[in-house]
Amino acid sequence: GAVVSQHPSRVICKSGTSVKIECRSLDFQATTMFWYRQFPKQSLMLMATSNEGSKATYEQGVEKDKFLINHASLTLSTLTVTSAHPEDSSFYICSARGWGGGEKLFFGSGTQLSVL
Amino acid sequence: AQKVTQAQTEISVVEKEDVTLDCVYETRDTTYYLFWYKQPPSGELVFLIRRNSFDEQNEISGRYSWNFQKSTSSFNFTITASQVVDSAVYFCALSVTGRRALTFGSGTRLQVQP
């Protein structure tokens, strides 16, 4: 079964609203979470890296005030897209890294965000 | 900086054909990991393999095989006797010790026709 749970899998929202995406590691402690964005027919681009209990590190060009990342516990990270606009429509996918019988790196199943 | 190049944007084969997906990487780190993932239309990433930079042994898993050659910085992926269910986008990726996030290639869309 999935070791990283990501919800929701799909969300449609109106322009200007905020959307929260959750990423949970189910059977290991995720010391680091990564958030990626994938536009249609393109590759996955890293948005930010978050370590539990500290502020996220954002990649160049990613607005930290728009994409709020919280990693308050070893099993949960959230990405909030604030005041979403149509250009934020994309596939967002998280990845969790942790330890337990060796290094673990797993991806969530992704969230398709459509902003109308 | 790291870079992964998948020069083949799209490949179309007929079922039962063998197909090789190319991956060339760039990094100055001596310790790194290479990955292949499959992304079916549903979107989730399916892990296929991880290989560290010190292990150049080729690997075979069923119909899948991987050829890692440090001399040419390549990590190619071959599917033998392809099947329609192999149709997906395949990503090659790289991570290095100081930056655990994966750097992905642009992906290769594989279409296997019946």
The tens place of each residue's pLDDT in chain B, 114 residues long, gives 899 999 999 999 999 999 999 999 999 999 999 999 999 998 999 999 999 999 888 888 999 999 999 999 999 999 999 999 999 999 999 999 766 799 999 999 999 999
Centre a 10 Å sphere on the Cβ of residue A93 and count the other Cβ atoms it contains. 26
Beta bridge partners of B109: B10, B89
Q: How much is the pLDDT for B3? A: 95
Whats the size of chain A, residue-wise?
116
In angstroms, rounded to a whole number, what is the distance separating the alpha carbons of residues A12 and B111? 29
Residue contact B104–A43, C-beta within 8 A: yes
Q: How much is the pLDDT for A31? A: 87
Q: How confident is the model at residue A6 (pLDDT cuts 50, 70, 90)?
A: very high
In angstroms, rounded to a whole number, what is the distance separating the alpha carbons of residues A42 and B29? 26
Tell me how far apart the terminal alpha carbons of chain B are, to the nearest angstrom. Answer: 41
Residue contact A46–B102, C-beta within 8 A: yes
Q: How much is the pLDDT for A107? A: 93
| Residue A54 scores a pLDDT above 90 | no
Residue A112: list chain B partners with CB under 8 A.
43
Question: How far B96 CA lies from chain A's nearest CA (Å)?
Answer: 13
**Parallel, antiparallel or unpaired: strands A4-7 and A103-107:** unpaired
Q: What is the DSSP letter of B114?
A: -
Q: How confident is the model at residue A102 (pLDDT cuts 50, 70, 90)?
A: low
Q: Which residues of B touch A (CB under 8 A)?
A: 37, 42-45, 47, 50, 91, 100-107, 109
Residue contact A107–B45, C-beta within 8 A: yes
CB pairs under 8 A between A and B: 43
Helical residues (DSSP H) of A45-89, grouped into ranges: none
Q: How much is the pLDDT for A1? A: 57
Residue of chain A with shortest Cα separation from B99 = A49
Q: How much is the pLDDT for A55? A: 87
| Residue A78 scores a pLDDT above 90 | yes
Residue contact B107–A93, C-beta within 8 A: no
CA triple B60-B65-B69, angle to 5 deg: 105
| Residue A33 scores a pLDDT above 70 | yes
CA A15 to chain centre: 20
| Average pLDDT of the residues of chain A | 92
Q: How much is the pLDDT for B98? A: 65
The two tokens of residue B79 are: 């599917």
- Best of B4, B100, B108, B110 to mutate (most A CBs within 10 Å, chain A): B100
Q: How much is the pLDDT for A100? A: 64
Distances (CA, A) of B73 to B19, B23, B28: 20, 8, 11
Question: How far B40 CA lies from chain A's nearest CA (Å)?
Answer: 11
Beta bridge partners of B49: B36
